[in-house]
Amino acid sequence: MAEAGGARPTIVVVDDAAEVRALVRTRLRLSGLLEVVGEAGDGAHALEVVRELRPDLVLLDVSMPVMDGLGALPRILETSPETRVVMYSGFQEHGLAHRAIDLGATAFLEKSTDLNTLADDLVRILADPDAPRATRAPEAAAVDGDEERRVLREHLERFREVFEDAAIGMATVTLAGQVVRANRSLAGIFGRSVDDLVGTSYAEFATDARAAFDDLLTGILLGTEAVGQLEHTVVGVEDRRVVATFAPVLDSSHRPLYLFAQVQDVTSQRGAEEELRRSELRFRLIVDNVEDYAIFMLSPEGLIESWNAGAQRIKGYTEQEIVGRHFRTFYPPEVQESGHPEHELELALRDGSYEEEGWRVRKDGSRFWANVLITAVHDLDGRHVGFAKVTRDFSQRRVQDEELRASEERFRLLVEHAADYAIFMLSPEGTVASWNSGAQRTSGYAADEIIGRHFRTFYPPEQQNSRHPEHELEEALREGRYEEEGWRVRQDGSRFWATVVISAVRDSQGRHVGFAKVVRDITERRVAAAQLEEANARLQQAADEQAHFLAVTAHELRTPVGVLGGTADLLAAHWSELEETERAELLDGLSSSATRLRRLLDDLLTASRLQRSKLDLQIAEVDVAQVVSTAVATAQRAHPGVAIDADLEPGLMVDGDAGRLGQAVDNLVTNALSHGAPPVVVTARFDGADVLVTVQDSGPGVSPEMRERLFERFATGRSAGGTGLGLYIVRELAREHGGDATYRPPTGDGPGAFEIRLPRATT
């Protein structure tokens, strides 16, 4: 702590950006009003420094890794109660100041505050011992030197009007998950005011996904996740479901500064998906309703060989009680005496099937009116092996005429609906043994065209060759049933997407006698689902590209612009007061920022023109060796001490725009210096009818997962930084000149390399 007798107050500067700390530290030293005794790059480190130094004042940033300012503030005051804390943030106030003061801050200053008055403001805040801790410090008055404040704009948000007026919810979130700014759309989605959102952990609105949110933050901080996405319900808003996308905004060292969040209300979409699920459930229940039918097999003599749940429900007999008995058991005595049951079998055997309605008898002696269908079943050789019998209880239909008509209508609709299904029998070997109208409508074959042929006929050639049909029967025999969706082939050769269920059929002794197969054409549903999935993918891609563009453009612009303005003002006003090392440090920053800004501007303008197909090339005969030499010399000046070699053949003439070709080569050299390892070697030589320019470095090369999208717009690695436009521009400029740009992966003989191939000049 400062001692009596005129000692300057002590201060610790906490900010995760080294260049910001350097600028603030220099300003405070030149003011002569405060003594900077320590620095920290995050909240956790700040606690250690404060515990050791016990400063009079801490200038504390909001968004930092490990522990942000809002999380560190109460811990600093607990560690050193006599220390005053001033929050110093790049986020506009928007309720954040009130939150900071509630946590114990003495004041809240935005980083847009004039640095000329920063020391005076801090001393004035510190000098008033009676100032209540819940009072915000006065705003610094605007003075000359606005350019200087631009050095701090790396921590100020851009596109304010877009942010506030966006139709989707947007927020700025610290690396620890605290919301420090929110727009009106997000407030509407969460059912709270903007002020209520600021200073609150995002996890409080997503308690059902808290663990996933913590994992998302960890992945972004570690660089394992470039963009994170979270779906959750909204706490306090009934039935509200959202999808939140979090994209990190990086500093000049490619470290996350804070997170940019986009939140979309997907309640209606999830509701539609749930309705689709319920619709499918209703369909399944209709299928399960087959318990309304008694379905069983008869021997050629009329003995019952199998029994299902519907038969037990309708007739009252268990399987053990009825299997092996003659089916005449279900007929009234007068019908049995007339030989009618045997007559039914004779007609079914002669005509293939027999159908009637009549009285039948249950186990308890009660009668019911039944609809009965008996079908003769033959094996592959045409030998009669028995009958399939289907019975339905129609008793209620006879109770009342109106109920009868209604029942008939329901049955008719059910029968018509069954035409949507191909239902047929297979022998144990897979040969088609029966055929229904739904099967004819779906596959195009008439019964006499398909019965007796193997069911592999319905499969594409590649599946036939892999013996997939036989595999289906094996699975159905082992598990009892087999179900899948896949392509099938109609008689005319066209394909359709089908849902297929194959069930193994066994007789009363458990012997396998064949398979029952149900097929439904769901091509239209698949096409609709694919279209919906494609549309969702396009929407998601557009949203991701928009978020990426906003984040990287804000990051890439604010650092060089701010450093240029702030450094120039500082050098002009205090050249003689600065130490030599300070001047050198500031001049290096000035030069590198100007180069970075110029390159970014060139890339953005070129990418825009390429996108709109409005790139104007000044075509002339160009010496490629001279273009490469200029690019290498420029890179060497910007990176003194780095080995950059050129190996050039003479007379490499092409028809092209020298400036644009220079930009392409310059981008490749810069890419090698930024993402590779020295030495960098640039070669240019003839290769058949082309001129080939190669840029290679000694680094490990491009990772396999990045190679496919290496030349796409905005394609960046997880920790590479940049706009992702450089290689996209290289390829498009090469193609504009009739050539192309490619990447050659590393081999055992050498490292990877980028290549530009251009056709030789025609004159």
* Residue 329, in any domain of the structure: no
Domain presence at residue 298: no
Stretches where the chain sits below pLDDT 70 are 1-6, 90-95, 112-113, 129-162, 251-253, 280-291, 398-419, 542-563, 589, 591-593, 595-615, 713-724, 763
In order of 381, 632, 674, 700, 752, the CA distances from 681 in angstroms are 79, 9, 14, 15, 11
Given a contact cutoff of 8 angstroms between Cβ atoms, the answer to whether 758 and 738 are in contact is yes
CA–CA dist 179, 205 (Å, integer):
11
Do 684 and 572 lie in one domain? The reply is no
- Contact call for residues 14 and 69 (beta carbons, < 8 A): yes
CB 530 within 8 A of CB 506: no
What is the pLDDT, as a whole number, of residue 233?
Answer: 92
Q: For residue 93, is it within any domain?
A: yes
Query: Is residue 92 included in any domain, yes or no?
Result: yes
Please indicate, yes or no, whether residues 586 and 683 belong to a single structural domain of this protein: no
The confidence score (pLDDT) of residue 595 equals: 65
Verify that 627 and 754 share a domain, yes or no: yes
Do 30 and 116 lie in one domain? The reply is yes
Q: How far apart are CA 122 and CA 57, in angstroms?
A: 8
| Residue 338 belongs to some domain of the structure | no
- pLDDT of the residue at 252: 58
Same domain, 512 and 564: no
- Whether residues 431 and 567 fall in one domain: no
Task: Give yes or no: residues 602 and 711 share one domain.
Answer: no
Tell me what pLDDT residue 150 has: 47
CATH value at residue 229: 3.30.450.20
Q: Tell me: do 509 and 548 sit in the same domain.
A: no
User: How far apart, in whole angstroms, are the C-alpha atoms of residue 496 and residue 442?
Assistant: 9
Q: What is the CATH number of the domain that holds 45?
A: 3.40.50.2300
Q: Are residue 134 and residue 241 in the same domain, yes or no?
A: no
Would you call the peptide bond into 704 cis, given omega within 30 degrees of 0 as the criterion? Answer: no
CATH number of the domain bearing residue 595: 1.10.287.130
Q: What is the pLDDT of residues 91-143, one digit of tens each?
A: 655 567 777 888 888 988 877 667 788 888 898 888 875 554 433 444 444 33
Domain boundary among 557, 584, 608: 608
Residues 166 and 254 occupy one common structural domain: yes
- Give yes or no: residues 544 and 680 share one domain: no
Q: Which of 223, 245, 265 represents a domain boundary (last residue)? A: 265
Strands 256-265 vs 241-250: parallel, antiparallel or unpaired: antiparallel
Confidence at residue 208, expressed as pLDDT on a 0 to 100 scale: 86
Q: Which of 521, 540, 572 is the last residue of a domain?
A: 521
Using one digit for the tens of pLDDT, what is the confidence trace for 283-321?
Answer: 444 333 446 788 899 999 999 999 988 899 999 999 999
- Number of domains, the chain: 5
Residue 113 lies in a domain: yes
State residue 94's pLDDT score.
Answer: 58
Q: Is residue 194 part of a domain?
A: yes
pLDDT at 415: 32
Question: Helix and strand tally (H, E) in the chain?
Answer: 27, 25
pLDDT tens per residue across span 569-620? 888 888 888 888 888 877 876 766 676 666 666 666 665 666 556 667 788 9
Note down the domain range covering 574: 526-608
* Rounded distance between C-alpha atoms, residue 62 and residue 174, angstroms: 7
Give all strands of the β-sheet with 293-298 in edge-to-edge order. 293-298, 384-393, 367-378, 353-361
Distance from C-alpha of 683 to C-alpha of 696, rounded to nearest angstrom: 9
What element of type H or E holds 695? strand 690-696
- Asked if 339 and 351 count as a contact pair (C-beta separation under 8 A), the reply is no
Pair 161, 237 in one domain = yes
Tell me whether residue 181 is in a domain.
Answer: yes
**Helix extents (H) in 305-383:** 309-315, 319-322, 333-337, 340-351
